[in-house]
Structure 1
Amino acid sequence: GAMERTKEAVQAHSSAGQGSLRIGTSSTPGCYMLPEVLGAFHQKFPEIKLKYVSDNSQRVEQMIIDNSLDLGFVGAYLSNDDLRLEPVMEDEVVCFASPAHPLSDQRRITPQQLSDTLCIVRERGSSTRRFFESWLSDKDVKLGKVIEVQSSETVKKLVTACLGFSFMSIHGLKDELRDRKLILLDVASMPLPRQIYLVHHAKKHFSPIIRAFLEILKNTDRSGLKSDGSSH
């Protein structure tokens, strides 16, 4: 079948000494969506050397432009003629807080209320932050006071300590929501649906290795990643 032919092509390619795949992801797909796909790829093609970089969307895109990565996965993008994007996974951005936070028992929280509340945020290169800020500005509101941190894990720690609220992909919160360490805030017109994009250079030649990875990506069941509470 097609996979067998792909396998032969990959083997021919890797024996020619070009057996590597360089993937960059922003934090959401990197931590919560792609590990399964990478695991499946590695099982099929253990001889291929994987380089895996996790950074914010802006830097992943820059590495694609510089050709230091083959493929990237990002949650939003800057328009650039050198890049091609295709939606590959669905995601939802939600607001959350500690159960002890004053907003936690409010209903239909408004964007203005969010703006008046201390927010724990990732750095400016984060696509989730760009996405959320543009949603706020559509409502004529800006983020108010913020504490800026480097990683989603740190965001969750500070929110758990009741310092402020935050927002991120629902996929990053599964464990904390289950353990009731964090709760979703009831914000009007949220959750916000978005796409996770596959990004590559417009002039990129797709080697058999890249094509094999994309084939596995296409066939991996990601339906367990919906945020209606029905985690698989």
Structure 2
Amino acid sequence: MTIRHLKIFLAVAEYKTMSAAAEKLYISQPTVSQAIRELEEHYHGLLFERLGKKLYLTEMGKILLTRSRDLVQEFQRLDDSMVEQGKKMMLRLGSTLTVGTCLTPEIILHLEEKFPGIEVRSYVSNTQEIEEKLLKSELDAAVVEGEVQSPDLVVLPIVEDMLVLVCGQEHAFYTEKMLLKEALYYQKFAMREPGSGTRQLFEEYRKVHQIPIEISWEANCPRTLINAVLYNKALSVMSFRLLKHEIRHDKIRIFLEQNKEWNRKFKLVYHRNKYLTPVIRELEMYLHQCKKMELSVKYGWIR
């Protein structure tokens, strides 16, 4: 028994003949007859009895009539709602914290201008949590800075980024032009939480070069880390893109890693079975426009 069966049944009940119901529904009379016969076989009883040239409901038919009207109306409301939803453009966009702070607002603004009426739902977290949501189909696409582990996800490195060491004006490193790695030993650091791409890249660097540090701050908020640098003499390692305001006002000094071990790319990520909507394709095109990074500031080096 299907909704189609019930619609045919309601038409026969209303118009009293198979031919009239068939004409109303734009289907053949044998199709109507077959649908009614299948319903009667399914319920093991007659739904109509013929008196003269018209069909009249039996007691079983009257019970089905009341229930089927409600079901068909509810199905129609559901169908209308889903069709309307299908017309509405929506993107569930994931971003890691660095990307969400420095790039996602621009992305959303661009997509809203390109697709008037679009609804963009933004979710910001670390790379690990973003990956989990992509695998559960809770996000359509994401832009992340960390390493993605699952082979079920497509990863497209696009936007250039780099980590920098940052210190405030009160720190002893502020006037330095060159730092040796050994200068970082046992320094106080404000660090991102485990699971973040920034933390992962710096921890790999520390492990390779055997650099012991003291983690005095740990937070998942870039602004918290910047404040720890500005007011608490902590060092931090974060994306250059997060520091443009502080650099412009000479509140901090940044140091680049000489061998480019801290260079990375923000990546567009989506499930390998994901249908690429025009919105996702536009997102990829826009990221290519953002790929270059301007570094026209004074900085020191770490070697």
Query: 2:179 aligns to what SS in structure 1?
Result: coil
Query: 2:162 aligns to what SS in structure 1?
Result: strand
Residue among 57, 60, 65 paired with 2:130: 60
Q: Give the counterpart letter for 1:61 in structure 2.
A: E
Q: Give the counterpart letter for 2:133 in structure 1.
A: M
* Distance in structure 1 (CA, Å) of the matches to 2:282 and 2:156: 17
Q: Give the counterpart letter for 2:209 in structure 1.
A: K
Relative to structure 1, is the Cα distance of residues 95 and 206 closer, same or farther in structure 2, using a 3 angstrom cutoff? Answer: same
Q: Give the counterpart letter for 2:130 in structure 1.
A: V
Q: Deviations over 1:205-227 (max 9, x none)?
A: 21233223333444x3553x322
Q: CA offset at residue 62 of structure 1?
A: 1.2
Q: Which residue of 1 aligns with 2:121?
A: 51
Query: 1:161 aligns to what SS in structure 2?
Result: helix
Query: 1:96 aligns to what SS in structure 2?
Result: strand
Aligned residues: CA RMSD: 2.3
Q: Which residue of 2 aligns with 1:9?
A: none
Asked if 2 retains the 8 angstrom alpha-carbon contact of 1:107 and 1:187, the reply is no
Q: Give the counterpart letter for 1:229 in structure 2.
A: V
Q: Give the counterpart letter for 1:226 in structure 2.
A: E
Q: Which residue of 2 aligns with 1:26?
A: 96
Query: 2:251 aligns to what SS in structure 1?
Result: coil
* Distance in structure 1 (CA, Å) of the matches to 2:110 and 2:182: 44
Q: Which residue of 1 aligns with 2:173?
A: 103
Relative to structure 1, is the Cα distance of residues 205 and 14 closer, same or farther in structure 2, using a 3 angstrom cutoff? Answer: farther
Residue among 220, 232, 235 paired with 1:165: 235
Q: Which residue of 2 aligns with 1:227?
A: 295
In the alignment, structure 1 segments of 5+ residues that lack a partner are: 1-12
Which of 1 and 2 has higher RCO (CA within 8 Å, sep 6+)? 1
Q: Which residue of 2 aligns with 1:201?
A: 271
Alignment of 1:175-194 (within 5 A): 175-185=245-255, 189=259, 192-194=262-264
Aligned residues: 216
Percent of aligned positions that are identical:
25
Deviates more, 1:108-117 or 1:85-94: 108-117
Q: Which residue of 2 aligns with 1:134?
A: 204
Question: Between Structure 1 and Structure 2, whose CA radius of gyration is higher?
Answer: 2
Relative to structure 1, is the Cα distance of residues 206 and 188 closer, same or farther in structure 2, using a 3 angstrom cutoff? Answer: closer
Asked if 1 retains the 8 angstrom alpha-carbon contact of 2:134 and 2:140, the reply is yes
Query: 2:250 aligns to what SS in structure 1?
Result: coil
Relative to structure 1, is the Cα distance of residues 85 and 190 closer, same or farther in structure 2, using a 3 angstrom cutoff? Answer: closer
Q: Which has the larger share of helix?
A: 2
Q: Give the counterpart letter for 2:297 in structure 1.
A: G
Deviating runs (4+, > 6 A) in structure 1? none
TM-score (normalizing by structure 1):
0.83
Relative to structure 1, is the Cα distance of residues 182 and 202 closer, same or farther in structure 2, using a 3 angstrom cutoff? Answer: same
* Distance in structure 2 (CA, Å) of the matches to 1:73 and 1:136: 25
Query: 2:178 aligns to what SS in structure 1?
Result: coil
Q: Give the counterpart letter for 1:160 in structure 2.
A: L
* Distance in structure 2 (CA, Å) of the matches to 1:71 and 1:184: 32
* Distance in structure 1 (CA, Å) of the matches to 2:224 and 2:268: 26
Asked if 1 retains the 8 angstrom alpha-carbon contact of 2:174 and 2:252, the reply is no
* Distance in structure 2 (CA, Å) of the matches to 1:30 and 1:14: 30
TM-score (normalizing by structure 2):
0.65
* Distance in structure 2 (CA, Å) of the matches to 1:118 and 1:190: 23
In the alignment, structure 2 segments of 5+ residues that lack a partner are: 1-82, 299-303
Asked if 1 retains the 8 angstrom alpha-carbon contact of 2:160 and 2:291, the reply is no
Relative to structure 1, is the Cα distance of residues 209 and 107 closer, same or farther in structure 2, using a 3 angstrom cutoff? Answer: closer
